[in-house]
Chains A and B, each alone.
Chain A
Amino acid sequence: KAGVTQTPRYLIKTRGQQVTLSCSPISGHRSVSWYQQTPGQGLQFLFEYFSETQRNKGNFPGRFSGRQFSNSRSEMNVSTLELGDSALYLCASSLGGTNLVFGPGTRLTVL
């Protein structure tokens, strides 16, 4: 069974740009969650999708958005990038929302 995949693995952007990250969940998993990991703040919840609907959203500005497609693949978008958005973005999938299986992450660097 293939694990959670995230693309790209590494990204370098400049301030003001926007970025889209992609996540493919484990086959059969309908829930996809996104987390931001930084040395200072640790792991912070961004949002969770289930069957194309956002079920929950963390305390992040509106520049952070996401969506889920009918095949359960998910994307997250960050617009007007700031230096502080530099982080490891983790995607996790699950059948119903618990027992998360994490992907390898996308390392975003904002210059």
Chain B
Amino acid sequence: AQRVTQPEKLLSVFKGAPVELKCNYSYSGSPELFWYVQYSRQRLQLLLRHISRESIKGFTADLNKGETSFHLKKPFAQEEDSAMYYCALQGSNSGYALNFGKGTSLLVTP
């Protein structure tokens, strides 16, 4: 069975502080992992995927297969980063279905 866990419902940091949004998964095969973001009054949108190994808006995420984690990090948080963040897993045996975590609400305060 596949499962995505985001242990924090809410994460509050000060502007300029580092931020790490945690994501742990359980999956027996080789998953594809994603981070989606939803800003206030906007649509859910793809932030990054592990296979791309790129940095988007200063965010990076590394897939750690040993710890089955895909944490999202940014060294210096900005107020505009305040949003809902969802980690999602796509398993090879489930077609293109995304299994989402419950999400973490990030609040960056000045």
Chain A residues with a Cβ closer than 8 Å to the other chain, count: 25
B interface residue numbers (CB < 8 A to A)? 32, 43-46, 49, 86, 88, 90, 94-103
CB of B101 within 8 A of CB of A97, answer no
Closest to B101 in A: A42
Closest to B45 in A: A102
CB of B97 within 8 A of CB of A42, answer no
Is A90 in the interface zone, CB < 8 Å from B? yes
A interface residue numbers (CB < 8 A to B)? 3, 31, 33, 35, 42-45, 48, 55-56, 58, 90, 92, 94, 96-105
CA distance A45 to B102 in the complex (A): 13
CB of B98 within 8 A of CB of A45, answer yes
Known: A42-B102, A42-B103. A33 touches B96 (CB 8 A): yes
